[in-house]
């Protein structure tokens, strides 16, 4: 049996909870069993719509780990594939929050008009999926421009903290004021 079409692809970032692995198996004999092994835990794969699917469990800490896929056909032939993934359980780093056209005094940025334009710099190995800012009218999703996220946020007339939440592509979030 030949294993292919594995999703997620080798080298992908995965979150800290279990994740689905799907794959194709091609063989002239019918495939009678397929399984996924991660960290010694074996999960039998089920066939759904022509593809095999199983749940893999990543390690408890961030870093690379291997997942093995095994498929056997009726004649006793076995196909094996091993892929390495990166477990990411850490939210993105928000390294900079800038309020354009503001004046900084006493550690506070004073805004002359609202809505204010915010520029946020955030980074993450898994890729930042979204950045939201809590304004007086509710959360505002900023638009991505490389590692920068920009948008206009309505702020109140009184002094208030602006909370920025960055979420990466596997669902980890971090918040910074």
The answer to whether 176 touches 164, Cβ cutoff 8 Å, is: yes
pTM of the model: 0.78
**Tens digit of each residue's pLDDT (9 = 90 or more) over 62-72:** 999 999 999 99
> How confident is the model over 15-52, as pLDDT tens digits?
998 899 999 999 888 899 999 999 999 999 999 877 99
Asked if residues 108 and 118 have their Cβ atoms less than 8 Å apart, the reply is: no
Q: Are 153 and 162 in contact (CB under 8 A)?
A: yes
8 A C-beta contact, residue 41 and residue 34:
no
Model confidence pLDDT, tens digit, residues 121-158: 998 888 899 999 887 778 899 999 888 999 988 877 66
């Amino acid at each position: 049996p030949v294993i292919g079409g594995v999703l997620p692809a080798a080298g992908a970032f995965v979150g800290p909870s279990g994740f689905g692995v799907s794959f194709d198996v091609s063989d002239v004999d019918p495939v009678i069993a397929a399984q996924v092994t991660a960290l010694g835990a074996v999960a039998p794969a089920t066939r759904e719509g022509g593809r095999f699917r199983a749940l893999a469990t990543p390690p408890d800490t961030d870093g690379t780990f291997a997942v093995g896929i095994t498929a056997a056909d009726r004649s006793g032939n076995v196909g094996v594939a091993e892929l390495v993934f990166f477990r990411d359980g850490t939210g993105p780093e928000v390294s900079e929050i800038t309020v354009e056209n503001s004046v900084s005094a006493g550690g506070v940025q004073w805004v002359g008009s609202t809505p204010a334009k915010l520029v946020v710099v955030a980074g993450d190995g898994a890729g930042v999926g979204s950045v939201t800012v809590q304004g007086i009218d509710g959360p505002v999703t900023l638009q991505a421009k490389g590692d920068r996220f920009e948008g206009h946020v309505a702020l109140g007339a009184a002094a208030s903290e602006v909370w920025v939440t960055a979420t990466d592509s596997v669902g980890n979030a971090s918040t910074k004021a």
